[in-house]
Amino acid sequence: MNRNTQTEAYGRNATGCNAGRLEFQPEGSQRVEAAFDAGRTTSDGGLLLLRELIMRTGLLRQFAGCFTDNRDPGRIEHSVEELLTQRVLGIICGYEDLNDHERLRDDSLLALAVGKADVTGATRKRQRDQGHALAGKSTLNRLELAAPNVDAAERYKKISYDDHGIERLLVQHFLDSHASPPTEIVLDLDATDDPVHGEQEGRFFHGFYGHYCYLPLYVFCGEFLLGATLHTADVAPGKRAVEELERIVSQIQARWPDVPIVVRGDSGFCNDEVMSWCEDGGIDYILGLAQNPRLRAEIRDEMAAARAEHERTGEDARVFKDFRYKTRDSWSRERRVVGKAEYITDKENPRFVVTSFSASAWSARALYEDLYCARGEMENRIKEQQLGLFADRTSCHTLRANQLRLWLSSIAYLILHDLRRLALAGTQLARAQVGTIRCRLLKIGAIVSVSVRRIYISLSSVFPLQELFARILANIRGGVVPA
């Protein structure tokens, strides 16, 4: 029996995979049948690239450093780093559910990417675990339910984590990814609804979104994720923004004290506390400003001019106005506001922003069109994390466990972002989103053969992007160069 046959036979016996023979429509006189009996195969051959990347960046090792393992060392078979790596790589490959890992724990390529010396699980201590190289759903679930502190009497959930350490790690990864300080840092703030469908801790009904949800607050700098904090929906995100900004800005300024910082956000963050904090700290800002009758009256003439231009040309028309403005009660001082009087498809579309920038630094039109509208890219990053990396899979009972799930998704996002900027630059996937990368680059059929001397992965011979795969590997192995 050759090595491949041995490996496949071992895989069938060890995994107990016996879903029965599946029958399909015949092809002429030939029967078409299938069964899940291929043994040590995987559908995620692209894990080889992710393994190279995480070994070079060390991000998951740093993430694991934020956890404390209070388990008996003599009984540990899956380290915290291995558990976190298994969970995060599973998310990247499209496995959002812990139940998926009951099958995935037999995936030898995932075990290799996780860092298991025994990728078949043949040497596990207990006989019932032999053949399962990785952790099952119960072990991973205990990781997610970790408490802030482990009580001496606690029997199962003995892993805790430092939430402040994880928050610092996100910013530290951004700082370490630059060989030299950037000329300017723009911090984009945004919150989005994260619907909940059970009795999760902290659930509240949000009138604007029309359902029970959480309100995670995100902070990005370009495509770098610097903050992802899960909040309840009973408090407006703008009320929590200063705390996030203080934490992130202080960490950035400790490294780069002279780099200008700009805070950018929609009208949900336009409150006096945020603007006063920026002004007192010498930080510029540009924030959306919700319209009201006083603001609309301020640009009445400009709106008439925009309408006249639209009627003359048949095209959308914009006219901008620069003016000083102060609310009657909520603002502590007068500030610069730019109004956009726009007429499109037979209707008015007024918009307003408030800013600390002077007119000499940014003209009204450039301020709105070039600086403020650029924040729309952040919304794409949030959608990518929620839709592609399951950041909204917050179905645990406790708020703390759901926060950890959000951070697991955030670390997965950072790994994909590292892959884009360090290995996919200059390729056809340089700007691809998570779903495209997963489909085109990670989902590759492969057979894993294990012998004493080597682990050999036979990738699909009909994979269309073979040359690109080799180029990406070369980019990773050429050295991780900071942005």
> Is the Cβ–Cβ distance between 188 and 219 less than 8 Å?
yes
**pLDDT tens readout for residues 325-357:** 999 999 999 999 999 999 998 899 999 999 999
> Is the Cβ–Cβ distance between 312 and 290 less than 8 Å?
no
> Is the Cβ–Cβ distance between 134 and 111 less than 8 Å?
yes
**Per-residue DSSP letters for 31-71?**
EEEE-S---SEES-TTHHHHHHHHHHH-HHHHHHTTEEE-S
**pLDDT tens readout for residues 186-217:** 999 999 999 999 999 999 999 999 999 999 99
Band (78; pLDDT cuts 50, 70, 90): very high
CA distance 119 to 378: 39
Output the pLDDT for position 2: 44
Beta carbons within 8 Å of 39's beta carbon, 6+ residues apart: 7, 8, 9, 10, 11, 12, 15, 447
Output the pLDDT for position 3: 42
**pLDDT tens readout for residues 65-76:** 999 999 989 989
User: How high does pLDDT run on average in the chain?
Assistant: 92
Provide mean pLDDT across the span 160-177.
96
Task: Find where tokens 């942005």 sit.
Answer: 483
Output the pLDDT for position 40: 86
Q: Which of the residue ranges 144-148, 295-299, 363-367 would you say has the lowest mean pLDDT? A: 144-148
SS3 243: helix
Band (11; pLDDT cuts 50, 70, 90): very low
**pLDDT tens readout for residues 357-414:** 999 999 999 999 999 999 988 999 999 999 999 999 999 999 999 999 999 999 999 9
Q: Which residue has the higher pLDDT, 20 or 74?
A: 74
CA distance 159 to 156: 9
98: left (phi over 0), alpha (psi -120 to 50) or beta: alpha
CA distance 293 to 310: 23
> Is the Cβ–Cβ distance between 18 and 31 less than 8 Å?
no
Question: Is the confidence at residue 473, as pLDDT, over 80?
Answer: yes
Band (147; pLDDT cuts 50, 70, 90): confident
CA distance 86 to 63: 13
Question: Is the confidence at residue 293, as pLDDT, over 50?
Answer: yes
Output the pLDDT for position 13: 43
Strands (E), 174-253: 185-191, 194-195, 204-206, 211-214, 217-221, 224-229
> Is the Cβ–Cβ distance between 464 and 444 less than 8 Å?
no
pTM of the complete model: 0.91
